[in-house]
Amino acid sequence: RLLSSSIEQSSLSFAMGWNELHDLAIKNEAAEIKDSVLLRGTIVRERAELSGMMPIHKACMYGRLAAFQELQELGADVKCETNWGSNCLHWVVKGYNYHKSDDQLTGSQKMPGRYLESDYMSIAKILLKECPRLLSKRNKKGQTPLELAKSLDTAGKTCKMAKFLDSKQVEFEKQVIERAALELKKRPKVRSVV
């Protein structure tokens, strides 16, 4: 069974045009990611043929914090977009809304490979600290990550991710306005001669 699962995974990887890092990002194998890049020369920024997804997109989609951090350290571009125009923050939102949160599990119930809400939130925080403009980027459907989060909220309640992104959007817009006001103050005043 394990062998057939491995063959199915490698067949899927081949069909999708993934490299080894895509699979390792999904599995959250941070140490293996480093080995793959440093020892075997796997390309961190290689795109999958069909989707344009990079390994960092997979780490974001599956909420794999350790893999995300390792890929980032090895030079992955958090601003990159897929063929659908989705950036890393879009993929965090999609994964967060798709996968069940296992944060309520305790002790021996927690298993490696589970999807943790806290990991998705941590990745979102890192992304926005590094590149706040990801909030305003629209995918090919015309949605920002916040709009996507709100559209995926099927329960009709604003989810934690949407609330977080909303607060960051307000902060970002405030900073843009403050910067614009500073720029206006820096401009030399022009005297009009009558």
Structure confidence by residue, pLDDT tens digits, 81-123: 999 999 999 999 999 988 755 555 555 555 556 788 899 999 9
More confident residue, 16 or 120: 120
Per mean pLDDT, which of 30-34, 48-52, 141-145, 184-188 is the most reliable? 141-145
Helix 160-186 with 145-152: angle, nearest 10 deg: 160
Span 176-188, average pLDDT: 83
Distance CA 49, CA 52 (A): 6
d(Cα 59, Cα 27) in Å, to the nearest integer?
Answer: 8
Name 166's Cβ contacts closer than 8 Å, sequence gap at least 6: 146, 158
- As a whole-number percent, the residues of the chain with pLDDT over 70 amount to 79
Highest mean pLDDT among 10-14, 34-38, 119-123: 119-123
Of these ranges, 50-54, 144-148, 177-181, the one predicted with the greatest mean pLDDT is 144-148
Q: How confident is the model at residue 4 (pLDDT cuts 50, 70, 90)?
A: very low
Q: What is the pLDDT of residue 124?
A: 96
3-class secondary structure per residue, the chain: CHHHHHHHHHHHHHHHCCCHHHHHHHHCCHHHHHHHHHCCCCCCCCCCCCCCCCHHHHHHHCCCHHHHHHHHHCCCCCCCCCCCCCCHHHHHHHHHHHCCCCCCCCHHHCCCCCCCHHHHHHHHHHHHHHCHHHHHCCCCCCCCHHHHHHHHCCCCCCCHHHHHHHHHHHHHHHHHHHHHHHHHHHCCCCCCCC
C-alpha torsion sign, points 68, 1, 102, 152:
positive
15 pLDDT band (50/70/90 cuts)? low
Q: Which has the higher per-residue pLDDT, 32 or 130?
A: 130
pLDDT band at 40 (very low <50, low <70, confident <90, very high): confident
CATH class of 2-186: mainly alpha
Domain ranges of the chain: 2-186
Q: Average pLDDT of the chain?
A: 81
